[in-house]
Amino acid sequence: MTRGIMATLAKNISPPNLSIMQDEGFTASRIRTELLSGLTVALALVPEAVAFAFVAGVHPLVGLYAAFLVGLITAVFGGRPGMISGATGALAVVMVALVAEHGVEYLFATVVLMGILQVIAGAMHWGKFIRLVPHPVMLGFVNGLAIVIFLAQLTQFKDPASGGADWLGSGQMMMMLGLVALTMAIIWGMPKITNIIPAPLAGIGIVAVLVIVFGLDVPRVGDMASIEGGLPMFHVPLVPLNLETFQIILPYAVILAAIGLIESLLTLNLVGEITNKRGGASQECIAQGASNIVTGFFGGMGGCAMIGQSMINVKSGGRTRIAGIAAALFLLLFIVVASPLIEQIPLAALVGVMFMVVIGTFAWNSFKIMTKVPFTDAFVIVLVTVVTVMTDLAIAVVVGVIVSALAYAWNNARRIHAVTRDSATEEGAKVYEIQGPLFFGSTDGFVELFDVSGDPAVVIVDFAASRVVDQSALQAIETVAAKYEAEGKTLQLRHLSRDCHELLSKAGHLVVENDDDPEYALAVDYSVRTGILGGH
């Protein structure tokens, strides 16, 4: 089942042209592809950064500077070449309350603290815990993010003159939809003609030329806000350096750091499936943290990995760090020099690119998968998708992991049972052959297996087909032993691991050693290993 899910995941998020799966070296062709891919990403970053800045309640340049700085630093030092980072909506929605209540300077301080927490997470190698995210959660994450990206584009169909409150008029709306469809058609058809220019860049370029030459009345980038500005300047956040400030920004910093790392590490895994790369989680955590520290000191709103722009980059052929670096530098060029030109690009072209990202990102085969996998896995896929759309990614992933873990524990708890027989070596003794894992979820079922009052004077519990997992399991064994002891009967425990021998022997129970005792280690903490078990 795991292989099927991962195959479907890779199939649905992979772009159609993925012949270049390995780094071909820095040839002229490779560098051209990387630069053009970076240019495409930079063009798609502009409206996203501006929109997320509006969501957070800050100036558009705050979002653009974040996209530049976070994108540049993570491109150079991140754990996955080809992945794009910048200002994201998942972080922006958390920042709203902070900016509204305390102002943008507190946001900058929060971003710095957020980065410090992410660097600590990377240094402690906490990124490896992303492995605990089940594949149904990954599918739900992909589908949820695709829907979120789609919904975010709908704001571009609002009339800028109304402040985004009203939809475009019928004439503008039809023209906008037509240009979006044209962009999507170009992106779909261009790879069939040539791969010299990335299809998304061709779509943006052709539609932009049509709009500018014929003077079509449709919303353009400049209608959102002016992106003109200078180089980001070093700026220490103007907040009091005291405990009160720390208490204000810490909760926001923790939430932002968690959301940023979760989204970045999940995106890292998705890009890794496409580019056939592994590892880099801790490096990515440190890179994300360092980029946010720098961004906070240069007037940016912080950021994390962006699945949409990462997919655009991979689809356009970006495989190395050059594409990410080029995207950041092109974005800075847009801000400092080319803003009048970039502001003429129609939003319809960029929306068309993002709609193609949505189509390529959504795991369409998950509908078929859900009819073949266990009900719990199908439920988790839907749950994570819905929660991602309704709340945010971090909550969705946590909820998905918890539900998956509870379902796993429940299924294993139901596996515990025993086969009884008379002992072949000790006359009159009864043997309980325990089958299934013994852990906190199955302890009640384990205790109920035994007929203490009806059993003979000697009872043997054989764990050869079981596994004692945790302290709760040891406590359950002690509970059963105490019941037999109260009846004046002897209980022998066989085929336990060595650490179980040590712990239960210290507790005063009869453990019979065998040459074929298992060697696995018990998952208990140090206090248990020192003999502190159930008060013994």
How much is the pLDDT for 531? 33
Each residue's pLDDT tens digit, 293-315: 999 999 999 999 998 899 999 98
3 state DSSP class of 431? strand
At position 460, the amino acid (one-letter code) is I
How much is the pLDDT for 470? 81
| Lowest-pLDDT range of 84-88, 326-330, 423-427 | 423-427
Instruction: Name the DSSP letter for residue 79.
Output: S
User: CA-to-CA distance for 130 and 284, rounded, in angstroms?
Assistant: 12
* Residue 326 in tokens: 């080029």
Which of 83-87, 272-276, 477-481 is most confident?
83-87
CA 429 remoteness from chain centre: 54
Domains in the chain, ordered, with CATH?
27-156+182-361 (no CATH), 417-529 (3.30.750.24)
Give 283: exposed, middle or buried? Use CB within 10 Å, 0-12, 13-18, 19+: middle
What strands, in cross-sheet order, belong to the sheet with 417-422? Answer: 417-422, 430-438, 458-468, 490-494, 510-512
Q: What is the end-to-end Cα distance of the chain in Å, rounded?
A: 44
3 state DSSP class of 423? coil
How much is the pLDDT for 25? 60
* Residue 394 in tokens: 């971090």
**Confidence label for 409 from pLDDT (cuts 50, 70 and 90):** confident
User: CA-to-CA distance for 97 and 95, rounded, in angstroms?
Assistant: 6
How much is the pLDDT for 1? 42
CA 338 remoteness from chain centre: 34
How much is the pLDDT for 89? 85
Taking alpha carbons only, the member of 91, 82, 83, 81 closest to residue 49 is: 91
Rounded to 10 degrees, the C-alpha dihedral 473/475/477/478 comes to 170
How much is the pLDDT for 503? 58
How much is the pLDDT for 498? 65
Residue 6: is its pLDDT beyond 80? no
**Confidence label for 278 from pLDDT (cuts 50, 70 and 90):** confident
Each residue's pLDDT tens digit, 140-160: 988 998 898 898 889 889 887
pTM, two decimals, is 0.77
Residue 530: is its pLDDT beyond 60? no
Taking alpha carbons only, the member of 375, 381, 428, 424 closest to residue 400 is: 381
